[in-house]
Amino acid sequence: MPDGRDPLGQTAEINDNRVTIAGETRALTTFAGLPIVYMKYTDAISITPPERNKLSFVLVGAREGVSPVELAQRIESATGLRALTREQFARAGVDFIINNTGIPLSFGIAIGLGVVVAVVITALTLAMFITENLRNFGALKAIGVTNRQILQMVMAQAWLVGFIGYGLGIGGTAAFIFFGRNDPSLQGFSLHWQVVAGAALAVFIIVTASAFFSVRRVLKMDPAIVFRG
């Protein structure tokens, strides 16, 4: 309960009907954040407002030794209704969100903007570093440090900085998920290995490309620049 009381035995109001809380469960938060109430179907029918179809799906448990795929096929052939396994149902939910909502576009735009900002900031930071140290690079080239060695040096620094930034970012994300795991409003977040690997690849590409384009100026630079006032 919001005031910290034990919910068991408390009375709540749903659509002008009083209900008594008989138990609680730790359910995943729905996408829209609405609460989930478990009750008998007949009770649910009686307290929900009238609408054409009140039954979205029926959960079915398979007996031990019965394959969910086989069970779903049997239900479909027996009832003519669509039956899905847990995995198929989850996939169908994801597909629905992708195909019928603006969420992928919104998320895509946010991620795209993030990438653009990351590229611009990384490239500008590296370009500033190069510009500020132009004479030192000129000195190194005059001394006899090769372009290849300078490229290796700049790349090593860029990768190190990128690795630290990536570690902080992924670490922060993981920490957010870990420490929020008991907060009902934060449940449902997960960090898949594909996200970790994808982010690493994106950071690597952004840092490498930015460093390369920034250091091109040094590679083409005349070492005699170090002597100019």
Partner 1 sequence: MPHAARAENVIMEFPSGAERLRVLHGVSLDIPFGAMTFLVGPSGSGKTTMLSSLSGTLSPTSGAVEVMGERLDQMHDGALVRFRRRRIGFIFQQYNLIGTLTAAENAAIPLIADGVKSDAAIDAAKAVLGDLGLADHAWKLPRQLSGGQQQRVAIARALVHKPALIVCDEPTAALDAEAGQAVMRLLEDAAKSPDRAVLVVTHDDRIYRFADRILQIEDGRLINTDASMNQEPRHAH
CB hemisphere CA count around 20 (13 angstroms):
2
Q: Fill in the per-residue mask, 187 to 226: x = in contact with partner 1 (CB under 8 A), - = not in contact.
A: -----------------------------------xxx-x
State the angle between helix axes of 103-132 and 147-179 in degrees (0 to 180), rounded to the nearest 10.
Answer: 140
The strand pair at 17-20 and 11-14 is best described as antiparallel
Among 135, 207, 214, 216, binds partner 1 (CB under 8 A): 135
Nearer to partner 1, 163 or 204 (CB): 163
Among 16, 144, 190, 192, binds partner 1 (CB under 8 A): 144
Nearer to partner 1, 80 or 229 (CB): 229
CA distance 107 to 121: 21
H or E, element range at 147 = helix 147-179
Stretch that binds partner 1, among 2-10, 109-117, 132-140, 209-217 (CB under 8 A): 132-140
Total number of residues shown for the chain: 229
CA distance 172 to 169: 5
Among 101, 131, 136, 152, binds partner 1 (CB under 8 A): 136
CA distance 175 to 153: 32
Among 44, 139, 155, 202, binds partner 1 (CB under 8 A): 139
Among 21, 37, 71, 145, binds partner 1 (CB under 8 A): 145
Nearer to partner 1, 139 or 151 (CB): 139
